[in-house]
Structure 1
Amino acid sequence: MMQDRVNYGLIGLGTMGAALALNIAEKGYPIAVFNRTGTVTDEFIASAGDLAPHLTPAHSLQDLVAAITRPRTIILMVPAGPVVDAQIEALAPLLDEGDLIIDAGNANFTDTERRTAGARDAKFDFIGIGVSGGEEGARHGPSIMAGGEPAHWQRVGPMLEAISAKYKGTPCAALMGQGGAGHFVKMVHNGIEYADMQMIAETYALMHDGLGWDAAEVAETFETWNKGTLASYLVEISGKVARAVDPISGGPMLDAILDAAGQKGTGRWTAIEAQQLGVPVPVIEAAVAARNISARVDTRARGAGVFGALPHPLAAGALDREVIEGTLIAGKILCYAQGFEMLAKAAEQFSWSLPMATIARIWREGCIIRSDMLNDMASALEAAPDGNLIFAEPFTGMLRKHEPALRRTVIAATQAGIAVPALSAGLSWFDLMRTPRMPANMIQAQRDFFGAHGFQRLDGRDAPHGPWAHGAQG
């Protein structure tokens, strides 16, 4: 039953904001809406159909605040960065004690931490939520990762759960922790998304460039994989993308698209923050680098002219569909293991009680990286929240089974000049994770030689420098 009181407002009627406002209204929460360009507000209301009576248009911030019954909750769906700060600054004088601002954009978690701290000295409250699922998710049910005080979550949680995606009836929305925890989890989600997409693109290259398969064969392969272990949103849409026909040329849609991938920065944030935390996430880092290189179209063309164009076809019998499937399964496990290890380290670093199993569960529906594997990941993280997924069943067994496929693929791709940076990075990380004695002893010796930095000895003796110590270069 629809509510009579309008306790919610939303600022920013772009693609995501408009979809989210309709979702909120449809779920029984009347909402006032405002956009800086008034005609956008009018057009939005006019196109809302049966939901229009549950949407209150406002043509100024004063009108928006006046239309909402206290205690007010105002959702910001504006571009991340300075625009959010400017919007908060404009709203602040109009708000009353206990009003709540929700930043639902793709904010950097450090900005959310800063804004949360600033709100402690203000009369309004503030939380940040990560929203994943694109326009379709915003309209019909996204995955929602909130960061803020438990009291604030108790207040708006029922609404956020109502509008979220549902996995077998369970809402894909939860409180991650205080401050910027929600936006941090969303950032890592996006980093995993970058890596997952890159690995899928690399398997496409193996099929299309390496094996010479046409778009129909590639599409059928993704469709088959989506019925098994790899069942996921990204594999599903990859099949649809590969099968799509270009309405202009009549050929495969993929053949008409420039090979320069865009990005909004969240994957890069993940890689940067992982370095700050000292957590290796090489699959994500490789995916970010690959996007950056893809944008260098002219440089790549020059490289092909100088050194010869790549790739070459794979050697006969080098790979087949089953081997490539096993490769992607192994790569996906390694990528998610790195992502969850980063979350565990962040929880320790920032004193967040990140609900690791819950994170896996709210990613099962609504978000871009939703995958059947997340069920088993949730179970593994329930048993060992701080554990690495590669040491938890069924993933240990799956890696034992599919490691040969991953290794075979990386070798074959390297021989043919088919770049598989994310899959290669995953394999190298996996190899390092099972190497009892790494060559880091050489690095420590070098550091001690030129900087007298010292080292630990295997025998435990108190002799922290080598015989070269007197010749240290500083």
Structure 2
Amino acid sequence: MAEADKSQVGLCGLAVMGQNLALNVAEKGFKISVYNRSGDKTDNAVARAQKEGLGDNLVGFKDMGEFVQSLAKPRCVIILVKAGAPVDATIEGLAQHMEPGDIIIDGGNEWYENTERRAKALEEKGLLYMGMGVSGGEEGARNGPSMMPGGAKAAFDVIEPIITKVCAQTDSGPCTTYVGPGGSGNFVKMVHNGIEYGDMQLISEAYDVLKTVGGLNNSELAAAFNEWNAAELDSFLIEISALILAKEDDQKPGEGFLVDKILDKTGMKGTGKWTVQQAAELSVAIPTVASSLDARFISGVKDERVAAQATYMSAGLEPADAEVAALTPEEKQQLVDDVRAALYASKICSYAQGMNLIRAKSNEQGWNLDLGEMARIWKGGCIIRARFLDRIKKAYDRDADLPSLLVDGEFAKELVERNDAWRRVVTSAINAGVATPSMSSSLAYFDSYRRGRLPANLVQAQRDFFGSHTYERVDMDGWHHTVWSDMNSADSITTSGYSA
């Protein structure tokens, strides 16, 4: 086959995401070769391409060697297989057929250190490697996802003309950029998913408060979410939540709404857990994301929760949804407005936490990541796409060294405006026995961050009491230790340059 007739890119792994991304690439006018370990998925991809009139641009292969040889040099292969050992096995297979200068790009959700390990190993063979987070689910992969490539800059330069057309397009440009070196692309995608956990939990809490405290029915809930999506809460997750709430049971027509029939147990794939673990390693507070992860954990112990409800009902404590208070139309509307404000304020805190985590990792690794650019490429295609991401981009454009979105003038003004409503919602939920872990955590984060003095002085004194960890004083230099057990003694030790 002449070099000019070969495919411009290859894609290995034809599950839902891979197949849809391959069709997207073909639709944008690029010739793509596809391969899957099981040949039936290759056949399915080719059949779909033929059906959609894209057959000339998508060619299927069932032999990995032939697949690699079908690519124009430098050969570039995007792999979309399950993280971990399957990625290593796929890389090993591809590398046997590739030459120095060829490129492998992992488009899955992968631990960033695995990407760096693989890049180093492939570098010894002369191959270039990238980890590229792809967000948007099945629909995004087919019509335009957000793409977060990190790793070898030379590899990005080769793939850039393709992914800038394949990704989502917004008024700010294509939803991709060169994120940075090493595993930065995977890390940014991981934090994106952590923010996604927080967003989903916050929305579910808003739904719970309106339904349980306000007594709104599904039609009223869907209407409220549609109204929110037309204003500052405009986002993919709010949009689909309105559609979910309005969906009638399609398996048992005439028997109510589908969402009410879904078991209240939430699954997860690990990126939220990684985000929380990294925050702990870097000493970055992300309580909104952490509480959303805890909420998923506690949802998983369904049998225990059912038993606990019975235990407390027998002791005279009814669950929150045992009796919903009847509100007047005016009171309902006030609650809807308050929850809208509380959700938006909590969302600002959640994104601020995620951006702080990205910055901390960037500083640790020397990645020099552009936080405003990260917000920009999330404006379209990805799961957390939202109108206010454009305003996050502008906040970092105003001050690239902004310590937190919470101290940006515009966001600070909005938080002040929503402060009272935010507190009313959390208080009403607590009084009704409705758990709002992420909304409450966001409020606590806000209150802690804007307070010049916290009770950490007592915690540090306790640490010094039982562990001689020393403490600093507000009125003296150096580190100090006190013999706390003798309350009448003024004995203390002042040390210089010693920290806990």
TM-score (norm 1): 0.96
State the shift of 1:385 in Å.
2.4
Report the residue type matching 1:431 in the other structure.
D
After TM superposition, the structure 1 = structure 2 runs for residues 69-148 of structure 1, keeping only pairs within 5 Å, are: 69-148=72-151
Question: CA separation in 1, counterparts of 2:66 and 2:478?
Answer: 73
Secondary structure at the aligned position of 2:481 is classed as: coil
Look up the match of 1:26: 27
Written as runs of structure 1 = structure 2, the 5 A alignment for 1:454-473 is: 454-462=470-478, 464-468=480-484
Contact (CA 8 Å) 2:8, 2:32: kept in 1 or not? Answer: yes
Structure 1 pair 462/241, CA: closer, same or farther in 2 (3 Å)? closer
Specify whether residues 314 and 385 from structure 1 end up closer, same or farther in structure 2 by C-alpha distance, changes over 3 A only.
Answer: farther
Residue identity opposite 1:385 in structure 2? A
2:444 aligned to 418, 424, 428, which one? 428
Q: Is the 8 A contact 1:176 1:353 kept in 2?
A: no
| Residue 18 (structure 2) pairs with residue 9 (structure 1) | no
How many pairs are equivalent? 470
How far off is 1:124 after superposition? 1.3
Match of 2:426 in 1: 410
Query: Aligned runs of 1:242-261 on 2, under 5 Å?
Result: 242-249=245-252, 250=254, 251-261=256-266
Residue type matched to 2:197 in 1?
A: Y
Q: Give 1:293's match in structure 2, choosing from 275, 285, 298.
A: 298
Q: Say whether 1:441 aligns with 2:475.
A: no
What residue is the counterpart of 1:311 in the other structure? 320
- 1:4-403 alignment, distance < 5 Å: 4-48=5-49, 49=51, 50-168=53-171, 170-249=173-252, 250=254, 251-308=256-313, 309-312=318-321, 313=324, 317=331, 320-387=335-402, 388-403=404-419
Q: Is the 8 A contact 2:6 2:70 kept in 1?
A: no
2:496 aligns to what?
A: none
Check conservation: 1:34, 1:61, Cα contact below 8 A.
Answer: yes
- Aligned equivalent of 1:452, options 462, 465, 468: 468
Secondary structure class of the residue paired with 2:34: strand
Q: How far apart are residue 113 of structure 1 and its match?
A: 1.7
Could you give the per-residue CA deviations for residues 80-102 of structure 1, whole angstroms, max 9, x where no partner exists? 11110111112212110111000
Q: Distance in 2 between matches of 1:189 and 1:169?
A: 19
* SS class of match (1:320): helix
Between stretches 216-225 and 166-175, larger displacement belongs to 166-175
C-alpha contact 1:192 1:339 (8 A) present in aligned 2: yes
**Alpha-carbon distance change, 405 to 169 in structure 1, aligned in 2, over 3 angstroms:** closer
How far apart, CA to CA, are the structure 1 residues paired with 2:320 and 2:117? 47
Task: Give the 3-state SS of the residue equivalent to 1:130 in structure 2.
Answer: strand
Give 1:168 deviation, angstroms: 2.2
Task: Tell me how far apart the structure 1 counterparts of residues 435 and 37 of structure 2 sit (CA, whole Å).
Answer: 45
Separation of aligned partners in 1, 2:169 and 2:233: 20
Q: Which moved more, 1:289-298 or 1:300-309?
A: 300-309
Name 2:498's counterpart in structure 1.
none
Q: CA deviation at 1:461?
A: 4.4
User: Mean Cα displacement is larger for which, 306-315 or 184-193?
Assistant: 306-315
- State the alpha-carbon separation in 1 of the partners of residues 419 and 361 from structure 2: 29
Tell me the SS of whatever aligns to 1:394: helix
Runs of 4+ displaced beyond 3 Å: 312-319, 469-472
- SS of 1:127's equivalent in the other structure is strand
Structure 2 counterpart SS, 1:188: helix
Q: CA-to-partner distance for each residue in 1:317-371, whole Å, 9 max, x for gaps?
A: 5961111111111011111111111111111111111111111111111111111
Q: Which amino acid aligns with 1:87?
A: T
Indicate the larger mover: 11-20 or 376-385: 376-385
Query: 1:248 Cα shift?
Result: 2.5
Contact 1:145/1:173 (<8 A) preserved: yes
Partner amino acid for 2:380?
E
Residue 442 of structure 1 aligns with an amino acid whose one-letter code is L
- Kept in 2: contact 1:314–1:412 (CA 8 A): no
CA-based RMSD of the aligned residues comes to 1.7
Q: Is the 8 A contact 2:128 2:152 kept in 1?
A: no
Q: Could you tell me whether the CA contact under 8 Å between 1:315 and 1:412 is conserved in 2?
A: no
Structure 1 unaligned regions, length at least 5: none
The structure-2 alpha-carbon separation of the partners of 1:462 and 1:57, relative to structure 1 and needing over 3 Å to count, comes to closer
Distance in 2 (CA, whole Å) between partners of 1:109 and 1:46 is 35
Deviation at 1:292, TM superposition (A): 1.1
| Local SS of the residue matching 1:280 | coil
Q: Structure 1 pair 42/451, CA: closer, same or farther in 2 (3 Å)?
A: same
**Counterpart contact for 1:277–1:346, Cα < 8 Å:** yes
Q: Distance in 2 between the 1:21 and 1:41 partners?
A: 11
Amino acid of the residue matched to residue 388 of structure 2?
Answer: M
Letter aligned with residue 241 of structure 2: S
**SS of match in other structure, 1:174:** coil
Q: Which amino acid letter does the alignment assign opposite residue 429 of structure 1?
A: Y
Which region of structure 1 is more displaced relative to structure 2, 238-247 or 4-13? 4-13
Q: How far off its partner does 1:424 sit? A: 0.5
Asked if the contact 1:356–1:382 (Cα under 8 Å) also holds between the matched residues in 2, the reply is no
| Cα deviation code 1:394-414 (max 9, x no counterpart) | 211100000111111111100
Counterparts of 2:384 and 2:476, CA distance in 1: 46
Confirm or deny: 8 A CA contact 2:80 2:106 kept in the other structure.
yes
Structure 2 CA distance for aligned equivalents of residues 348 and 463 of structure 1: 27
Whole-angstrom CA distance in 1 between matches of 2:443 and 2:305: 25
Once the two structures are TM-superposed, the CA of residue 229 in structure 1 deviates from its matched residue by 0.8
